Structures are given as C-alpha cells and as structure tokens.
Amino acid sequence: MLTKRLRLFHLLLICLFIYIPAVSLLAEDTIKITGSSELPVYIDADVITYDKETDTYHAKGNVVVIQGGSVIISEKMEVDMLSNLGIAEEDVELIDEGGNILKGDRLEFEIDTKTGIVKNGKLFYKKENFYIKGEEIRKTDKETYDIKKGEFTTCDCDEGESPTWKFSASEANVTVGEYLRAWHTFFHIKDVPVLYSPFVTVPVKRERQTGFLFPGFGYSELRGFKMDNAFFWAISDNTDATFYLDIETKRGLGKGAEYRYVLSRQTEGEIYIYHFKEDDIKRVREFRSGSDNLSRPETAGDNRWIFKLKHKQAFPYNVAFKADINRVSDDEYFIDFAKKEDERALTSLESNLSLSKQWDNFNLVAQFRYYDNLLSAEDKDTLQKLPEITLTGTSQQIFKTPFYFALESSFTNFYRETGTKGERLDVYPRISLPLRPGGYVEFTPSIGYRNTHWWADDDSTDTNVMYYNRYIYDLQADLTTTFVRIFTLEGDELNKMKHTIRPKISYTFIPYKDQHDLPSFDGIDRIGKSSTINYSINTILTGKFFEEKNTYTRDIVYFDISQSFDINEARRARISTEDKRKPLSDIVAEAILKPFQWMTLSAKEQYDVYDNWFEKHEASLGLNDKRGDSLGMSYRYTRNDTEYLDTSAIIKATETINLTYKLRYSYNDTRGLEKVYGIDYHKQCWGALFTYTQKLEENIFMVTFNLLGLGQVGSVSGGMK
C-alpha cells in the first residue's frame, strides 16, 4: 500500500505539471488515455499492456488511475476504451470528488459518468465519520450511492469487530450533504437487533436540511407517556423554521412554531409561539400542592401559550431598531414549561421596543417598556413606561475652553390602570473642569443642575392632571491618582507582574429640597440632601506568563473597597440619648482571585460597621482541570431576606464516565430546592445521560441517549411524587 501511495503522489505531480503549456512531462510508466470523456484518464502501474484490436488496457501491480477529482487504486485493472468501461480487482479503493473513500473486492466503473458498482463495499465519509457497508454499493452520481443489504454506523472499530451500534437495511441510498434513506431497517446493539423500522432517514449533511428531527420520548406520573415531535424546514440560506407537536397522554397536546431569519449582518430575528391545551389544570396543580404553587398566583387556564419575538435592524445614519417581546398566558407558565433553569425563578417579564440614533457624543433612545409581574394575579398597578425617551451626552469639551459638558435627560410616560400615572421630563446637565495639578493627580470639580417636571394623575382624587416641578443642583469634586510598578521575576512561567493602585476621594453636595408632595414613580423622583465624602481604593495585580513559547496576561488579584462619610448625619441633632448618629456607610468590597488558571475565587461584601454584620454577602469558587473535572459553588446572603447555596460538580471517574451533581439549597427554608444527580456515559460513537432530579413538586428520573452523528434519538423519564 505504501508503494501505491508513493505512485499516487508521483502521478498527482505529473497531473499538476501537465497543464502548464510550456512543459509536457509524462513518466515512462504513466499512460494518458483520451477517450470520449472530457477529462483524460491517467494510468500508472508496475505493468501496463495494450490490446490494439479490442482497444483495451491491462494494468497489474500497484495500479493507480486518476480522472479529474477521482482516484482508483487496485492490484488489477482493465479499461475498455470502446465501451468506456473499466474493471478493478483486488484491494480496490475509490476516492471520489468529495474525498470520500469506497473500498471493495471488485469495482466496475464507467469512465464518462464516473459511476460504478462495488462488490462487498465499504464506504467512509471522513468529515461525518460515517461508515457504510454493503454487499453491493452502486455509485450513481458525483456523491450519491445506492446500497443493497447494507449497514451504517459512526462507530470506529477494528477489522473483524462489530461496532457498538449500527443500522442494517435491505436497501438504502445516500447523498453526501443530505440524507441516508433506508428501508426495512433494524437497529443493532453490537450484533443484536433491538428495534425495527420500515423506513429510516439519517442526516449525512454538511449543512442544514429540511426534515423531521428525532422525537423525544418520556413518561411521568403527571404527563403520562410523552412524545415530542419536531419538523425542521430549511426555507433558504438565511431563513428556517421548526414546527412542534408534543403529545402527553395524561395532560394534553402542545403545538408550536419557531421562525428564524438573517436578512443582513446587522438585521436578524426570530419568532416563537407555542400553545398547550391542558386536559385539567386543577390536576396539574395537585402535583405542586406542597410547594405553595412556587409563590405564583393561580391564573392559568386550560389554554397555555407563549409568544416571543426578537428582532434587531440597523438603518443608515447610525439608526437602530430592536424588539424583544415576551408574553405568556399566565403567571404559572414557566413552572410547567421552562426551557432554561433560570426561567423557573422569573418574577417578571419585560417586553421592549426601542429605536435609537447615535452621534459621536450623543445617544437618543425611544423605548416602549411593558412589565408583566408574575407574582401578581393582576397587573393593574404595575407601572409601565410607554414610552421612555432618553437623550444622553458623554463628557465633551466645550469649544476650546477647559470646561466639559455631559447630559442625562429623559421623558417618560408612566401608565397603569390603578394608581398614580402621568408624564415626567427630567433634564440633568453637568459642567466639569478636569485638572491635573502637578501632573500627578487628577482633580475634577463639577456642577450639575437637575430640573424635573411632572404631569400626574392620581386616581384617588377627582382633580384633573396636576403639574409639579423641581429644580435642584449638586456639586461634586473627584480627586484620584494612579500608581503603577512593574516587577521582573525569574520564574519559568511567571515572567513579570504589574501592580496598579488607584485611590479616589470624592465629595458630593446636594441641598435640601422638600419633595413630599411630588409624584413618586422611581428613584429620580426623590433626591435626598447630601454632604458626603466617598473614598475608595482599587488595586489590580497582573501577571505576564509564558507557556509553550506563547505569552499571555492574567489579572491574578482584583480588589476594590469603598465607603462614604455623611457630614450631615455626623452633625445631626440627636432626638434622644438612645439616638445614635451613623455617618459611616456600609463598607462595600469586591475581590477576584485567579492564582492559577484552574482556580477562580470571588467575593462581594456589604458590611454594616455599626451592627458589625454583613448586609449582603456573595462568594463563589470555580475549579477545573485539564482532565475535565470541575467544581462550582456560589453562596448568596441578604440580611433578613434570602440565603441560598448553588453547587455544581463534574467528576471524570473514567475516560468514559462523568459523575455530575447540582444543588440549590435554601437556608431560609432549610431544604434543598433542587438536586440533580447524573451519570454521563460516553463512548466514541454514542452516549447516555442518566439523571435523577428532586424538585419541590416532583422527582424525575430521565435517560437520554445520543448517537454520534445522529443527535439525541430519544429519552425515557419517570416521575414520582
């Protein structure tokens, strides 16, 4: 075979040079045949003879034939130029135009059409890692084959061994880039047939193709037997759609559609709609009766649906439009139909339409923002922003003066069916004077002037729309500097370290303004007086590392700490001996440590210096190694509110088995909200995932199988109360 490969390489070089007009190069043992075909045939072998009477070439020993992009290798070959037919025997190997390899005992081929028949053939698609065997494999087109009494798999195995899984069929045809279609098909585990189907379609594709996706199967006490069906439609190069039909024998029927489109690099979107008809919603709620319906109001009926629309589009002159619409039929929808883990914890949904225009220093955005409160049965008192228009300006120099100008402004129409509603115009310009005294520090004094206007309608009164206004200024001064030092080290991996320290002190003054009679929609409506000193320190330690002749940088340590001192509070008159002044704010700190590539530690703290206790505390740990093991832990605590722990782990027990674990534990309820135990078994051409999930309302066992190249072919689950 090595000799054949060397001859093939030699022949390819000949074919390369033969098309150069100034050179005509042919080896003495290479024959060029020009028949009725547009492409010539080149034959190379140990011995080549020609029968002039029959116009037939006979080749023996390390035969290599090239025609266009096709190559045939064998020990014997006969080429009849009168009939344009050829026969190759003994260790036959055909490499087609796509680089796919077909092997067999005997090949009969037609020179003009480059088609043929292989006896006891083996076909291998390298890109898809797809193996096909057949008593007879007929090449009918450029990359199309018909197979009789065939087998197909994606499993690698040694000669004489049986693959882990395979399909066998009486007849099949395959086209590269499309599908393999087989009739009277058995699915085998090793050599044992376990499933039968009169017809099977398997993707052998390089691009997306229209067709049915493999269904998902399951069972639970709540849903009964479950089968999820989907049909994918490749409408065009830039559009496609998926249609869904889900059957649950004890619960109901679901159907939906998803449409995706890409009109240009800056214009794309997707639409998703799904409807599920419940047989009995009251029965569904019985399964979560012990979990207080997960704090959701019972607003669901028998018709459940979701509608999602995402679209973004860019127009000339830096104008952009975005749409993100999210609507559900009821507040319980995500309890039953969440597709992502975090969807079950959603407390509200936002729908947003926005149109923006951007200049060099200004940005104008008009938004319609609608909120759906999933914790309230009615949204009559939920505040909507229909619309909200903002104009912001980044800090920019005023002509050639040393002064700079910045702007924050907005106009918002607040709407709700019950409660105060109305419009608000807020304009907040700021003038600053950046200075660098001595060149070592940055000192920036500034003044802001906020003028706000309301036109409000209070449902509690019979009066007409009332007008309010507020004018208030603030003074601010920032003082900061930066210290940088670079250390040269002699480590094999760590070569240099850069230490950056950036301290900052700022002062803010806002005079007192009586605002008790003003409307209150959000934080802008109440600006408290302030005479506050804020101080902070930010430090970063960055390392430069060498690894296999490559260099990279990594922030090893990031640390930021800040606090403020309220001068007004320190001077406040006490109303009693028990009344204590508390001018110091909570200490807020954040730290991120990455001492190694495989470790990340982070923490965010808010510490009450008077109660000597944490108001908020967040910490996380991430570990991973090159083997594939990983550990993730995150802890969140809010004083007098929530406290929970999230943990996830993957242990690579063997080369083929991963053990997985997930936990969400509530310290408030002193119980686990969700636990997931998993075993991920994976081989070269197949895998199985076993999971056992414990939720407040249901315990679920699920098995999902995956065949390499075929995707997820099914799942089986069981539910237990």
**CATH number for 30:** 2.60.450.10
Give domain status of residue 337, yes or no.
yes
Q: Which residues constitute the domain of residue 266?
A: 208-379
Task: Enumerate helices (H) and strands (E) in the chain, giving the number of each.
Answer: 4, 41
Between 184-188, 229-233, 452-456, the lowest mean confidence (pLDDT) is in 229-233
Integer angstrom CA distances of residue 465 from 151, 198, 452: 79, 73, 16
Domain count, the chain: 3
Give domain status of residue 144, yes or no.
yes
Do 247 and 303 belong to one domain? yes
Do 186 and 329 belong to one domain? no
Q: Tokens 């296999």 — which residue?
A: 548
Do 187 and 251 belong to one domain? no
Integer angstrom CA distances of residue 111 from 34, 78, 143, 167: 11, 12, 16, 32
Query: 507 vs 12, which has greater pLDDT?
Result: 507
State residue 379's pLDDT score.
Answer: 87
Q: Tokens 């199309």 — which residue?
A: 144
**Exposed, middle or buried, 201 (CB in 10 Å: 0-12/13-18/19+)?**
middle
How much is the pTM? 0.73
As a whole number of angstroms, the distance between CA 52 and CA 30 comes to 18
Q: Model confidence at 144, in pLDDT bands (50, 70, 90)?
A: confident
As a whole number of angstroms, the distance between CA 61 and CA 77 comes to 9
Q: Do 607 and 637 contact (CB within 8 A), yes or no?
A: no
Read off the pLDDT of residues 166-213 as tens digits, 9 standing for 90 and up.
899 999 998 877 778 899 999 888 889 988 889 887 777 656 667 776
Q: Do 73 and 59 contact (CB within 8 A), yes or no?
A: no
Give domain status of residue 331, yes or no.
yes
Do 309 and 161 belong to one domain? no
The residue among 357, 379, 401 that closes a domain is 379
Give domain status of residue 108, yes or no.
yes
pLDDT at 219 > cutoff 80: no
The residue among 379, 404, 424 that closes a domain is 379
Give domain status of residue 30, yes or no.
yes
Do 194 and 324 belong to one domain? no
Do 247 and 143 belong to one domain? no
Do 135 and 279 belong to one domain? no
Do 24 and 104 belong to one domain? yes
- Secondary element (H or E) of residue 246: strand 239-248
Do 167 and 288 belong to one domain? no
Do 92 and 37 belong to one domain? yes
Mean pLDDT of the chain: 87
Do 19 and 71 belong to one domain? yes
Do 115 and 175 belong to one domain? yes
Read off the pLDDT of residues 614-662 as tens digits, 9 standing for 90 and up.
999 999 999 999 899 999 999 999 998 889 899 999 999 999 999 999 9
Give domain status of residue 476, yes or no.
no
The residue among 202, 235, 262 that closes a domain is 202
**Exposed, middle or buried, 252 (CB in 10 Å: 0-12/13-18/19+)?**
buried
Give domain status of residue 71, yes or no.
yes
Give domain status of residue 466, yes or no.
no
